[in-house]
Structure 1
Amino acid sequence: MIRTLENDQLRVQINDLGAELTEIYDKTNDRQVLWNADPSYWNRHAPVLFPNVGRYYENKCLINGNTYHCGQHGFARDMEFTCTESSQTSVTHLVTSSDSTRETYPFDFRLLITHELSGRDLTVRWTVINEDSQTMYFTIGGHPAFNVPAVPGTSQDQYYLTFNHESELTCSLLDLSHGTVFEGKTYPLALEHGRCHIKRELFDNDTLVFDNGQVTRAGIAFPDGTPYVEITCKGFPNFGIWSAPDSPFVCLEPWMGRCDNTGFADELSSKQDINTLAAGETFKQFYTISVK
């Protein structure tokens, strides 16, 4: 079922399947902001990545001495969530562990995802509750895709990625044979006035991966430099930016943790930027999408 949030400026839709955001319609400018999931390019809009962001090395992880196999971005995005609360401006979805999830991820949990609409801002809140008797380890991330180009007669490479007035950021690139990060190999992303053009070659190695909390705000600007859409994500250690080859969208991805480093084979508990949740504890985090 599709849930709708709406005010005088935006209409937002969320699917019970995956608690996935499926539409952000800008009423003011008569414009669809969120990618339409055309399967000829990429068949998702804004999946929730849980319990793992990206790939484990060789699609397996070690938990308490046992090996588990799990695909890219985890299983939550393909699960049917239950809507627990709904109003005109807020909706909350819940999914819980099951025999099926425990086959690839051996923890009992509750995952709640709330979408809150206020003016031209949509806030996405995550709550993870450890209902297990043991400490739980996970990563979680957002993956919203935005239409770029957004205006007829413009091309994607005329648009800009925007950041926080930095002159340079440092990013890692993916080992395409494994979908993991080359440890210790970083590359500069030069910025002018905190921005750079969205050139096709930016994504030659799939995703740009930013670590160490470098990105707390990232956005897309129109060819004339005016803002189009922006994500704020304070307290997030990782951030990804991705587009499929020659596709008319760009993903801005706030992550609490990320894919493995190439060759990582240790316990999940020792993974870089892993989230650790003791028995009975609750994890909370949020990010905000602002339509300009």
Structure 2
Amino acid sequence: MNITIYNHQIKATINTLGAELIRLEKKNQNYIWTVEETYWNKTSPILFPIVGRLKNDAYTIEGKTYELPRHGFARNFEFKTEYLTDNSVVFLLTENAETLKCYPFPFELRLKYEVTENGLKMDYSVINKSNKIMPFSIGAHPAFAINEPLSNFTLAFNEVEEFVSYELENEQFNNSFQIIPSENGKINLDYALFEKDALVFKHLKSDTLTLLRKNQPYISVEFKGFSYLGIWTKPNAPFLCIEPWCGLADNINHNGNIYEKEGIQLLDNNIEFEREINITLL
């Protein structure tokens, strides 16, 4: 089921399946890409309780092995609509018999969407309802529409950076990296940048980036508190994903113990983890 929230200028539509943002409109222009399954069948999935791919799609806890698909399971479940007004909505997912088979923790995962003066605020909340420390990752994956050549677009960050991108091999980190060319702190986009997969930045100082179109601000994404950032598209695809993460895919040498996984979050019982992303349409 689709739910739409709005104010005088902004309208957002979210599918209760995966609590997935499927449209974000300003003055009748949709900034989220429209699915073409030849490229990808998602628009903005939530990544939970892992980000990326596990080695052998499996992990261990106290010697017991569990299997999880890439990016976890939250995107595949119906969320309960917990709260709804004209301009905001809160979605809730809790554990069920199916999730407990692959992730043995009771939890509460909430996403709040709220339209703002010029965009959308997304609040993420995770509560550990178990009586032991809960390992998890969480991430966003919004795909913004690119309806003209990608070379018209540039990424501008709010801090001076050396853009070190850590490389993926079969969707796992392989201990190699590359320096992404930049000019005055800006990355000029081209599909060739994504030939090996996403750009993954582990050590950014920035917590805001702006997507420029023909050197004019187009979209800004603020992601304070997110440790990592992925940028991704596919060859000639009409979208660009800007992905703040609290978590990472496995390294090819990882031993499988999820508590020792790079980037994993460890949450005590009945403690709440909160993060916020702000998208501004410029």
Band of TM-score, shorter chain: over 0.9
Once the two structures are superposed, what CA deviation does each residue of 1:62-92 show, in whole Å capped at 9, x if it has no partner? 1222111111000000100000000111100
Structure 1 residue matching 2:49: 3-state secondary structure? coil
Matched residue type, 1:246: N
Query: Residue in 1 aligned with 2:261?
Result: 271
Once the two structures are superposed, what CA deviation does each residue of 1:197-254 show, in whole Å capped at 9, x if it has no partner? 211111011111110344411231111x111111111121111000011101000000
Query: Residue in 2 aligned with 1:16?
Result: 16
Matched residue type, 1:277: L
* Partner Cα separation in structure 2 for residue 96 and residue 220 of structure 1: 34
Query: Residue in 1 aligned with 2:173?
Result: 181
Map of 1:38-49 to 2, 5 A cutoff? 38-49=36-47
* Partner Cα separation in structure 1 for residue 32 and residue 87 of structure 2: 18
* Partner Cα separation in structure 2 for residue 137 and residue 230 of structure 1: 30
Structure 2 residue matching 1:103: 3-state secondary structure? helix
> Which of 197, 201, 211 lines up with 1:210 in the alignment?
201
Contact 1:219 1:252 in 2 (8 A): no
* Partner Cα separation in structure 1 for residue 51 and residue 205 of structure 2: 18
Matched residue type, 1:180: Q
Contact 1:16 1:80 in 2 (8 A): yes
Query: Residue in 2 aligned with 1:55?
Result: 53
Tell me the CA shift for residue 25 of structure 1: 1.1
* Partner Cα separation in structure 2 for residue 106 and residue 280 of structure 1: 15
* Partner Cα separation in structure 2 for residue 263 and residue 245 of structure 1: 29
1:291 aligns with 2:270: no
Structure 1 residue matching 2:86: 3-state secondary structure? coil
Contact 1:167 1:191 in 2 (8 A): no
* Partner Cα separation in structure 2 for residue 104 and residue 120 of structure 1: 39
Map of 1:153-232 to 2, 5 A cutoff? 154-166=148-160, 168-175=162-169, 177=170, 179-183=171-175, 185-223=176-214, 225-232=215-222
Structure 2 residue matching 1:125: 3-state secondary structure? strand
Query: Residue in 2 aligned with 1:97?
Result: 95
Query: Residue in 1 aligned with 2:106?
Result: 108
* Partner Cα separation in structure 1 for residue 117 and residue 159 of structure 2: 25
Query: Residue in 2 aligned with 1:252?
Result: 242
Instruction: State the 4+ residue runs in structure 1 displaced beyond 6 angstroms.
Output: none
Contact 2:80 2:91 in 1 (8 A): yes
* Partner Cα separation in structure 1 for residue 205 and residue 56 of structure 2: 27
Contact 2:124 2:275 in 1 (8 A): yes
Higher mean alpha-carbon deviation, 208-217 vs 16-25, is at: 208-217
Matched residue type, 2:62: N
- CA RMSD, aligned part only? 1.3
> CA distance change for structure 1 residues 44 and 63 in 2, over 3 Å: closer, same or farther?
same
* Partner Cα separation in structure 1 for residue 245 and residue 101 of structure 2: 24
* Partner Cα separation in structure 2 for residue 234 and residue 51 of structure 1: 20
Structure 2 unaligned blocks of 5 or more: none
Query: Residue in 2 aligned with 1:242?
Result: 232
> Which of 77, 101, 117 lines up with 1:79 in the alignment?
77
Q: How many residues align?
A: 282
* Partner Cα separation in structure 2 for residue 127 and residue 4 of structure 1: 21
Matched residue type, 2:178: Y
Structure 1 residue matching 2:180: 3-state secondary structure? strand
Matched residue type, 2:21: L
Q: TM-score, normalised by structure 1?
A: 0.93
Contact 2:10 2:116 in 1 (8 A): no
Residue identity (%)? 33
